[in-house]
Amino acid sequence: MSDSPGEAILALEDGRTFRGRSFGAPGECCGELVFNTSLCGYQEILTDPSYAGQIVTMTYPHIGNYGVNRHDVESRRIQAVALVVREACSVPSNWQSEMTLPEYLRQNGIVGLDGVDTRAITRHIREAGAMKAAISTLGRSEKEVVEMARNWPGLVGRDMVQYVTRSEPETWPSPENPRFRVVVYDFGVKNSILRFLADSGCQITVVPAYTPAEDVLAQKPDGVLLSNGPGDPAGLTRIIPEVRKLIGQVPLFGICLGVQVLALALGGKTFKLKFGHRGGNHPVQDLTTGRIEITSQNHGFCVDIESLPKDELEITHLNLIDRTLEGFRHRRLPIFAVQFHPEGGPGPYDATHLFQRFASMMTQGTPA
């Protein structure tokens, strides 16, 4: 049960509505309604900048049972616009817990909705696709909330990175004797990615998403990482030309939105998935080794495999559920990228070896 009762309405742009209980901050919000299949990791999910502009529905029914702490965050604040669950736990049990999930949402001004049939929501999204939605806890009629959802501009064609990127360069804590100097483009980078880079022996400078390529190359980095982030990659018209200038100048590693930006910079195209890939249990095959890895994913857009220049790029990873692209590498240049999250956070660590692959690529200066 929620510890803050009060009726709330979730409405979708197609007119479907769900009534439940408010368990976060009172108010209203709009976003793209998506679902995540992870069994845990709700704090990392909420603070992942890739969820900017999205209302997250958790398919696992009981959320909040181990509370919230100051360590399991992926950014400075909650990034999702709202959280929808079957049952929010207000009495957590964990030695690290510092507050309840309802308290966490209220402190951050984030709307939460529980007491709804999240299975029905998920099945509807799978059949109709991810769509615009709105939540209100302020007593509006269902018709009014549906209109709120319909009037929201959506994510397609929009630059959502501007809402999550840093405004100034930042130095991330590095190991005592770093082997490499890496510049990370912050499209919405997760803390877990930066931690794994540091553990791989990297001295890290995180730069805003719109930093000119010339400024990055002036730092003489051993490599550049293009991070995860939210929204439609085709809307990043200020970023793609700068990434294009880096190609052939420095080793490049792209993660999630980073693979999409790289693909566009290399002449490829992207498209919107029907309901996206979000969760910690997505099987991906590494075509270079034959190995199947269970991966953490969070994306609503994807690279069109047929659009990639085959003479320059080799497909390295495929999603085993829908055969969509999960990774590629350049045939001549030190460039590779993956659609999934090798750092987990939350999720399995099957693919953390890719950070060492990046280190090897920086050492050798050859394709991964």
Asked whether the predicted pLDDT for residue 60 surpasses 50, the reply is yes
Residue 151: pLDDT over 50: yes
In a domain, 1, yes or no: no
285 and 174 in a common domain? yes
The answer to the question of residue 32 being in a domain is: yes
Task: Calculate the CA dihedral of residues 226, 310, 322, 317 and round it to 10 degrees.
Answer: -50
The pLDDT of 114-126, averaged and rounded, is: 97
* Residues 111 and 217 reside in one and the same domain: no
- Per residue in 79-115, pLDDT tens? 999 999 999 999 999 999 999 999 999 999 999 999 9
* Residue 107 in domain: yes
Q: How many residues does the chain have?
A: 368
pLDDT at 5: 60
**Residues 31 and 98 placed together within one structural domain of the fold:** yes
Is the pLDDT higher at 174 or at 41? 41
Is the pLDDT score of 4 beyond 60?
Answer: no
| Percent of the chain predicted with pLDDT > 90 | 96
Model pLDDT, residue 1: 37
What CATH number has the domain bearing residue 297? 3.40.50.880
Helices of type H across the chain: 42-46, 101-107, 118-128, 142-151, 191-199, 213-217, 240-246, 257-265, 353-364
* Identity at 200, one-letter amino acid code: S
- Same-domain status, 271 and 130: no
Q: Is the pLDDT of residue 283 over 60?
A: yes
Catalytic residue list contains 343: yes
Same domain, 212 and 309: yes
**Domain containing residue 230:** 161-364
Q: What's the structural domain count of the chain?
A: 2
Following CA atoms 133, 138, 140, 142 in sequence, which dihedral angle do they give, to the nearest 10 degrees?
A: 40
Calculate mean pLDDT across residues 286-305: 97
Per-residue confidence band for 49, with pLDDT thresholds at 50, 70 and 90:
very high
> Using 50, 70 and 90 to split pLDDT, how confident is the model at 366?
confident
What average pLDDT does range 161-173 have in this prediction? 97
**pLDDT for 319 beyond 80:** yes
Asked whether residue 232 falls in the same domain as residue 301, the answer is: yes
Q: Whole-number mean pLDDT of the chain?
A: 96
- Give the model's confidence band at 335: pLDDT under 50 very low, under 70 low, under 90 confident, else very high: very high
Q: Which of 30, 89, 202, 256 is catalytic?
A: 256
125 and 181 share one domain: no
Active site residue 89: no
Domain boundary among 114, 133, 151: 151
What value does the mean pLDDT take over residues 169-188?
95
Q: Verify that 202 and 343 share a domain, yes or no.
A: yes
How far is Cα 10 from Cα 145, in angstroms, rounded to an integer? 8
Are residues 140 and 219 in contact, defined by beta-carbon separation less than 8 angstroms? no
156 assigned to some structural domain: no
d(CA 54, CA 67): 22
The last residue of one of the domains, among 121, 151, 181, is: 151
How far is residue 288's CA from residue 55's CA, in Å, rounded to a whole number?
36
Any domain includes 2: no
Are both 197 and 53 inside the same structural domain? no
Task: List the alpha helices (DSSP H) in 53-153.
Answer: 101-107, 118-128, 142-151
- 292, 265 contact by CB (below 8 A): no
Please tell me the predicted confidence (pLDDT) of residue 367.
77
Q: Which residue of the set 277, 282, 317, 341 is catalytic?
A: 341
Residue 3 has pLDDT above 80, yes or no: no
pLDDT band at 368 (very low <50, low <70, confident <90, very high): confident
**In terms of domains, do 193 and 142 share one?**
no
Q: Which domain-ending residue is among 119, 151, 183? A: 151
> 109 lies in a domain?
yes
User: What angle (nearest 5°) sits at the alpha carbon of residue 367, between those of residues 362 and 284?
Assistant: 105
How far, in Å, CA of 162 to CA of 230, rounded? 10
Could you say which of 32, 74, 242, 343 is catalytic?
Answer: 343
Respond yes or no: is residue 40 known to be catalytic. Answer: no
Shared-domain flag, residues 60 and 190: no
Please check whether residue 91 lies inside any domain of the structure: yes
Q: 209 and 75 in one domain?
A: no
Q: Is residue 14 part of a domain?
A: yes
